[in-house]
Amino acid sequence: MRILLILLIIFTSCQNKQETKSNKIPYEPNSNSIENLETGNAQKEKFQKIPYSLKNNYLDSLGTKLNPNKNYDYWQYATYYQNSIETKYNVLNQGGDTLQRIKINEKINPIKTVGIFQGGHPNYRCNYAITIENRKVKYIKSEDEFRTFLGNIDNLEEAILLARTYGYLLGSEVNESEYRKIGTSFELHLVKYHDYPRSLESVELKIGYDGTIKTKSLGNFRTKDVY
């Protein structure tokens, strides 16, 4: 009788073990492994050529992509040219209530109303950012004011314009006009002009979405083809 009872207990125990189910999730290899993700990011983050050329006035072309974050009543980005024959004022981009444009005097006296990104010899050129807010017309008269006007850096063009306010330019060599986007930030390879000695320095810039900027010299000073 005792032997029969022992055999019954053993049989019942074995049956319970067979009915027990595991709650462990089967392991499935993830194709998006860390190695693959890092490789993918590396491919996306390669520097690309900036699609603007020194042969054209890229400051004007960049302005067509401006997107100020502040809701002005009206704003415009324009360029001003003056030579011995003619004077031109050309609106490159604008936003807000365009009917308010009539409040802006386009016959600018550059001596009294100083623009930004001035240059040209013997001719004169510069750019203007102009806003209307609370019925007040404001001419952006400095690079510092222009940075405030830009606000958040929404695209490559705004990143290059921001860099230009600090004196960083497109270079003529392939590796002196490059960029890559990382998240909402940009990394640029540009050049910095130096008067003494007359040379160009290659520089890497990291520009955040909020307009913060960090720079690192890449050396490679050169004295030829200085613009």
Q: What is the pLDDT of residues 140-191, one digit of tens each?
A: 988 999 999 999 999 999 999 999 999 999 988 878 899 999 998 999 999 9
Q: Bigger pLDDT: 107 or 173? A: 173
Provide the pLDDT for residue 147: 95
User: What average pLDDT does the chain have?
Assistant: 79
In Å, how far from its chain's centre is CA 55?
22
In angstroms, rounded to a whole number, what is the distance separating the alpha carbons of residues 175 and 48? 9
pLDDT at 47 over 90: yes
Q: What is the DSSP letter of 97?
A: -
- pTM for the model stands at 0.75
- The answer to whether the CB of 119 falls within 8 A of the CB of 38 is no
Q: Which of 107-116, 121-130, 136-145 has the lowest mean pLDDT?
A: 107-116
Backbone φ and ψ of 72, nearest 5°: -75, 155
CA separation (Å) from 95 to 18, 107, 131?
A: 74, 20, 10
In Å, how far from its chain's centre is CA 17?
63
Q: How many CB atoms lie within 10 A of CB 8?
A: 10
Q: What is the DSSP letter of 52?
A: -
pLDDT at 19 over 70: no
In angstroms, rounded to a whole number, what is the distance separating the alpha carbons of residues 101 and 131? 10
Q: What is the pLDDT of residues 58-80, one digit of tens each?
A: 888 999 999 998 999 999 999 98
- The answer to whether the CB of 179 falls within 8 A of the CB of 52 is no
Provide the pLDDT for residue 44: 57
Provide the pLDDT for residue 67: 92
In angstroms, rounded to a whole number, what is the distance separating the alpha carbons of residues 147 and 128? 13
In angstroms, rounded to a whole number, what is the distance separating the alpha carbons of residues 222 and 103? 47
The partner residues of 182 in beta bridges, in order of sequence, read: 185
Following DSSP, what letter does each residue of 142-185 receive, concatenated?
Answer: SHHHHHHHH-S--SHHHHHHHHHHTTEE--SSGGGSEEEEETTE
Q: Please report which confidence band the pLDDT of residue 57 belongs to, taking 50, 70 and 90 as the band edges.
A: confident
CA separation (Å) from 31 to 41, 115, 170, 214?
A: 15, 55, 40, 36
